[in-house]
Chain A
Amino acid sequence: MILEVAGLSTAYRSQAVLRDVSFSAPEGELIAIVGPNGAGKSTLIKTILGLTPSLGGSVSVFGRPIGDVRTRIGYVPQRESVDWDFPTHALDVVMMGRYGRLGWFRRPGRKEKAIAMECLAGVGMEAFAERQISQLSGGQQQRVFLARALAQDADLYFMDEPFAGVDAATEKAIVELLRRLRSEGKTVIVVHHDLATVPEYFDSVLLLNVTVQAFGPTAEVFTETNLQRTYGGRVAFAVAATGQAKGAEA
């Protein structure tokens, strides 16, 4: 198991956001975290990464505390979490993926630039290397973020809603990228909101609503019963979405 989460809990003021979340992620899989709004999907990723404090529980990656293995972990935050009007260009953002390996004080050089360029090409964005980031479309910005994660050259990736608000071309590029990462033996954990594409894109799925509702291989876990339990009042929506997915597969 590449990632083991045991009894993780967090709260915002007195409201529980995550309660006693435990799961073990197998290596080399694409794993979706799915659940309704406010289920704590992003919080789960951030808490695992230690970006937000937890009330209790433990996280181990590659059998070690996360602080020891930071350079083996890649992270794609939500696109809206940064100011895209920042004075920088696409290649420079991708190079930030190398900062963790460079450590304190050392500046990125020719080698880092070459790696960053390669990663930009990996998401089909090499033509936009010098483009100021505010002048990229939403999908292009998302690809820059993915290229930055590639530059981290990690073994385990966390991606927070990478498919949110992107065009069809970017969605296809992201899916190809995920599959390529899997073929290289990497593990990718993705917060996902589009139920219809879960069976097609992901090997395993974690159904989350404050607590873990179900976790396991998509074929076994992604069932109507489990979705109903996860989405509660929004059953009709959830069922309609899975119906769509089945229709698409057929």
Chain B
Amino acid sequence: MMQLWDSLAALATDPNLRWIALGCMLLGLSSGMIGCFAYLRRQSLMGDTIAHTALPGICVAFLLTGVKSLPVFMLGAIVAGIAGTLAIRVITARSRIKADAAMGIVLSSFFGIGIVLLTMIQHSGDGSQSGLDKFLFGQAASMVGSDVQLMAGVSLLLTFVCTLLFKEFKLLAFDPAFAKGSGFSTSLLDFIMQALVVTAVVAGIQAVGVVLVAALLITPAVSARFWTERLDRMIMLSGAFGMISGLLGAWISSQVFQLPTGPVSVLAAAFVFLVSVLFGTKRGLLTMRLTRSRARQQLQALQGSTASVKEAG
């Protein structure tokens, strides 16, 4: 308990940790917001695919440059992520394979290549110091100031674009044909949306890791859906859930147990999800049960009154 208190105090006083916590919160905020649109467009698995395909990109970036630098890794991750999405497009367009199967194939083969490259790097001379293994599950505490600032800046930019294009994204998600008929370029909007997902995933890769970063896109969005029937509120809630998950991930992983950040963030998001499924005010199991039992009581009351009318008649 004492330890927990100390770590909380550290969060308030240690400037480095404060930056990391802030960066992870902003990452959670932007991922949560973007995730809402991905979820509503039934592209929940897209983020996961991009994240996994990013790993070989990071490894190749290291092999080519030989330096451990976050911007270089991010560039590699973006290139590989785009290659992965293109591969999925080509597979679904040129064959009869459906999107889910195409994602499964691309995700696993890219990740396989990534793990092979990662192992090779680890076993090579100075590779063990590369710290590339941290990219699997994330280690926010290992991030240096400039990395954190980059992550925070990119997250803020994502949040801004998402807010700016809220109306357009809403229309694209609900009724793309109508969006196009209204004069919006849906292919451009679709591209921007994809770019946002790729960027969110890549921005979070060092802090949260390739394996679990996509969970920050989806879990907060799905959780938020249980509390509201309005998209604007859903996005704000999802962003808030993402922030909480990011904060808890950064804080707990850096202090108490020396755990990787990804799993802790995702567990926090999963806890929020569990609470939402049970107690969500719009779609939670408890709410639905209460509504149903209230309806049953009303029906019984109605039947009772008609019965008494019949008796009286």
Beyond A70-B182, A100-B182, is A87–B230 a contact (Cβ under 8 Å)?
Answer: yes
Residues of B within 8 A of A169 (CB): none
The answer to whether A177 has its CB under 8 Å from any CB of chain B is no
- Nearest A residue to B180 via CB reads A51
**Which residues of A (56-113) have their CB < 8 Å from a CB of B?**
67, 70-71, 73, 75, 77, 81-83, 86-89, 92-93, 96, 99-100, 102-108
Q: Judge whether B52 is part of the interface by a CB distance below 8 angstroms.
A: no
Q: B234 and A96: CB pair below 8 A?
A: no
By a CB distance below 8 angstroms, the chain A residues around B167 are 99, 102, 105-108
With a cutoff of 8 Å between Cβ atoms, the chain A residues found around residue B231 in the complex are 86-88, 92
B residues 161-199 touching A (CB-CB < 8 Å): 164-168, 170-171, 173-175, 177-184
In angstroms, Cα B233 to Cα A224, docked, is: 56
Q: Is A50's CB within 8 Å of the partner chain B? A: yes
Q: Does B229 contact A (CB under 8 A)?
A: yes
B99 within 8 A of A: no
Contact A70 B181 (CB under 8 A): yes
* B181 surroundings in chain A (CB, below 8 A): 49, 51, 70, 73, 75, 100
B228 adjacent to chain A (CB < 8 Å): yes
Flag whether A228 is at the interface (Cβ < 8 A).
no
B91 CB-CB contact with A under 8 Å: no
**A216 CA to B165 CA in the complex, in Å?**
44
B175 lies within 8 A of A96 (CB): yes
Contacting residue for B230 out of A88, A103, A108, CB 8 A: A88
Q: How far is the CA of A132 from the CA of B184 in the complex (A)?
A: 25
Closest to A135 in B: B229
Question: Given A99-B167, A99-B182, A102-B167, A81–B230 Cβ distance below 8 Å?
Answer: no
Indicate if A19 sits at the interface (CB-CB under 8 A). no
Q: How far is the CB of B231 from chain A (nearest CB, A)?
A: 5
Chain A, Cβ-Cβ closest to B224: A87
B219-245 contacts to A (CB < 8 Å): 225, 228-231, 234
Q: Which A residues are in CB contact (< 8 Å) with B234?
A: 87
A46 at the interface (CB under 8 A from B): yes
Q: Mark B139-175, 1 if CB is under 8 A from A, else 0.
A: 0000000000000000000000000111110110111
Cα separation A218 to B131 with both chains bound (whole Å): 76
B40 adjacent to chain A (CB < 8 Å): yes
In the complex, how many angstroms separate the beta carbon of B13 from the nearest chain A beta carbon?
41
Q: How far is the CA of A71 from the CA of B166 in the complex (A)?
A: 20
Contact A83 B177 (CB under 8 A): no
B174 touches A77 (CB 8 A): no
A86 touches B173 (CB 8 A): yes
Contact of A87 with B229 in the complex, beta carbons under 8 Å = yes
Q: Are B174 and A96 touching (Cβ within 8 A)?
A: yes
Distance from A118 Cβ to chain B, minimum over Cβ atoms (Å): 19
Chain B residue numbers with a CB within 8 Å of A77 are 175, 177-178
Chain B residues within an 8 Å CB radius of A104: 168, 184
- What distance in Å separates the Cβ of B144 from its nearest Cβ neighbour in chain A? 36
CB distance from B38 to the nearest CB of A (A): 14
Give the one of B167, B181, B229, B234 with max A CB within 10 A: B181
Q: Which of A49, A87, A104 has the most CB of B within 10 A?
A: A87
Nearest Cβ in chain B — how far from A70, in angstroms? 4
Contact A132 B229 (CB under 8 A): yes
- Is A81 a contact partner of B229 (Cβ separation < 8 A)? no
- Within the complex, what minimum Cβ distance (angstroms) separates A188 from chain B? 15
Question: Which chain A residues lie closer than 8 Å to B225 at the CB level?
Answer: 87
Q: Could you name 16 residue pairs across A and B whose Cβ atoms are closer than 8 Å?
A: A70-B183, A75-B181, A77-B177, A77-B178, A82-B174, A83-B174, A87-B225, A88-B170, A88-B230, A89-B230, A92-B231, A99-B167, A100-B181, A100-B182, A102-B167, A107-B166
Interface residues of A (CB under 8 A from B): 46, 49-51, 67, 70-71, 73, 75, 77, 81-83, 86-89, 92-93, 96, 99-100, 102-108, 132, 148, 152
Taking A46-B177, A99-B179 as given, write out 12 further A-B residue pairs in contact, using a Cβ cutoff of 8 Å, ordered by the A residue number: A71-B183, A75-B178, A82-B175, A86-B173, A86-B231, A87-B228, A87-B230, A88-B170, A93-B174, A96-B182, A100-B184, A104-B184
CB within 8 Å of A: which residues of B? 40, 164-168, 170-171, 173-175, 177-184, 225, 228-231, 234
